[in-house]
Amino acid sequence: MNDTNGKVKPFGIKDKLGYMFGDFGNDFTFLLSAMFLLKFYTDVMGVSAALVGLMMMAARFVDAVTDVTMGQIVDRSRPGKKGKFAPWIRRMCGPVAVASFLMYATYFKGMPMGFKIFWMFFTYLLWGSVCYTGVNIPYGSMASAISDNPTDRTSLSNWRTIGATLAQTAIGVILPLVVYYTDAAGNSVLSGEKMMIGALICSIGAVICYMLCYHMTTERVKVEQNTQKFSFKELIKQLVHNKSLIGIIVCALVFLLAQLSLSNMNAYVYPNYFGNIKAMSIASLAGTVVILTLSTFIVKLASKIGKKELSMIGCFISAASFILLFIIHTHNVWVWVGLIIVATIGTSMFNMVIWAMITDVIDESEVQTGVRQDGTIYSVYSFARKLGQACSSGLSGVLLSIIGYTSATAFDTKIVDGIYNITCLVPAGGMILLLLALWFLYPLNKKRVEENAEKLRIKRNENA
């Protein structure tokens, strides 16, 4: 944490890489769930798509308690030699990896349906509501302790997205080529056994990445232990009056609805509608290239025009791409991939700065109330993200059931056309709603963010 002279090392590339590995670890289990869990339970375990989706939505009621509880635990924990947040990453990285692996228990596919449903609920709650919460909330809160400089935080947000992109490459590009096989009828089918092995590899990768994050990052901003008596009523009152937090929560909900609905439906539109798994991998790889390219200049661009302003431009680009795909209803997978790449440019313009925006919200709250609540605010935001994830899976599952999707009808013409429409319209609607939420609900433009940072810098200098 310190150099040989006893001084804290300045913010630099080691912190950026370490923070990148943290989200790499997160998304080894989060993206795996978002992209494959619905498909795994419908096609391998034989559970109804609507039931899987409703399970994911129901779990969010549990998260409403566990996320805020973890946020309070983090805020009230005493800072140690390694800081306030990093120790939690080391404590929870093992449990979250084990819980993720248990969700893909192919060896139970021959069990009675009641047991499979029980196992699905039990392992999903263990992973998402307990273990993932225990590692993700401290990790996300840690960004504001690594640096108090808005540009540094935008850089951390950028590198966090790079970490997620690397995980996306492993899960979205490589894994589909491994876990699918072609059956006697020439259809691309998900292999339960290979999926379980893939989940094991992802869990091991998650632990490695979390430990790299723990060892490579330094918490420079001293975040004191919150010793105020907890009042749930007071917490709700603060949250209700926090316009910036409400704005970012709505943005997170609709963005995750768009992004993860697309991830969920990719597992259906490529094998079922286009009959081309390789195109799914190529599209994911192209998305990785887009994000890595944007990462070279997104920090300077956001600093120049503002994170909110940049995000709104991206929303317009992405929504227009999905609407065009719906209108042309193409059967050419490469036309599809081309417009998906354009949509990815738009979504990435928001996704690469979102984590810096939540630290802006934490700063705004401290300016307004005089109390810093990194863990609590991030936990509420994390809950909103999980709700968006669940809504995307729940909506996808319900819509698949409405169009009549089952393992028996998976390749019928009417069904695959319905899959195409869902894959276009849900993300398009989500990005339009995100644009409106940024415009009307989220108040932290470039000028206000810079003013808040300066106020807090003066405050800390006075207290030093």
The stretches of 142-242 forming alpha helices (DSSP H) are 143-146, 150-168, 175-179, 192-216, 232-240
Q: Say what the pLDDT of residue 464 is.
A: 61
| Rounded Cα gap, residues 362 and 384, in angstroms | 15
223: left (phi over 0), alpha (psi -120 to 50) or beta: beta
| Rounded Cα gap, residues 445 and 448, in angstroms | 6
Name the helix (H) or strand (E) containing 189: strand 188-190
- Name the range with the highest mean pLDDT among 31-35, 125-129, 146-150, 395-399: 125-129
| Rounded Cα gap, residues 71 and 83, in angstroms | 16
pLDDT confidence tier of residue 63, bands split at 50, 70 and 90: confident
| 190 secondary structure, DSSP code | E
| Rounded Cα gap, residues 450 and 452, in angstroms | 5
Name the helix (H) or strand (E) containing 182: strand 180-182
In angstroms, the Cα distances linking 315 to 243, 350, 393, 396 are 21, 8, 21, 21
Identity of the amino acid at 144: S
What's the distance, CA 38 to chain centroid? 16
Q: Residue ranges of the domains in the chain?
A: 14-220+234-455
Q: Which pair of structure tokens corresponds to residue 57?
A: 């939505």
What's the distance, CA 386 to chain centroid? 8
Of 179-193, 311-325, 373-387, the poorest mean pLDDT is in 373-387
Q: Say what the pLDDT of residue 3 is.
A: 39
Mapping DSSP to helix (H, G, I), strand (E, B) and coil, where does residue 4 land?
coil
| 373 secondary structure, DSSP code | -
pLDDT in tens, 355-392: 889 889 989 988 988 877 777 787 788 777 777 776 77
| 188 secondary structure, DSSP code | E
Residue pair 319/428 in contact by the 8 Å Cβ criterion: yes
What's the distance, CA 247 to chain centroid? 17
| Rounded Cα gap, residues 31 and 220, in angstroms | 30
Superfamily of domain 14-220+234-455: MFS general substrate transporter like domains (1.20.1250.20)
Question: Is pLDDT above 80 for 228?
Answer: no
Identity of the amino acid at 377: I
Q: Say what the pLDDT of residue 182 is.
A: 85
| Rounded Cα gap, residues 396 and 400, in angstroms | 6
Question: Is pLDDT above 50 for 291?
Answer: yes
| Rounded Cα gap, residues 437 and 102, in angstroms | 37
User: Residue 248: which residues within 8 A CB-CB, separation 6 or more?
Assistant: 357, 358, 361, 381, 384, 442
Q: Say what the pLDDT of residue 2 is.
A: 41
Question: Is pLDDT above 50 for 1?
Answer: no
Identity of the amino acid at 215: H
Residue range 105-126: average pLDDT? 94
The reported pTM is: 0.75
Q: Provide the Cα torsion 131, 133, 139, 144; round to 10°.
A: -160
CA angle 275, 280, 285 (to 5 degrees): 160
What's the distance, CA 187 to chain centroid? 31
pLDDT in tens, 264-289: 899 899 999 999 989 988 998 898 89
Residue pair 190/180 in contact by the 8 Å Cβ criterion: yes
| Rounded Cα gap, residues 382 and 303, in angstroms | 25
More confident residue, 6 or 198: 198
Residue pair 317/348 in contact by the 8 Å Cβ criterion: no
Question: Is pLDDT above 50 for 4?
Answer: no
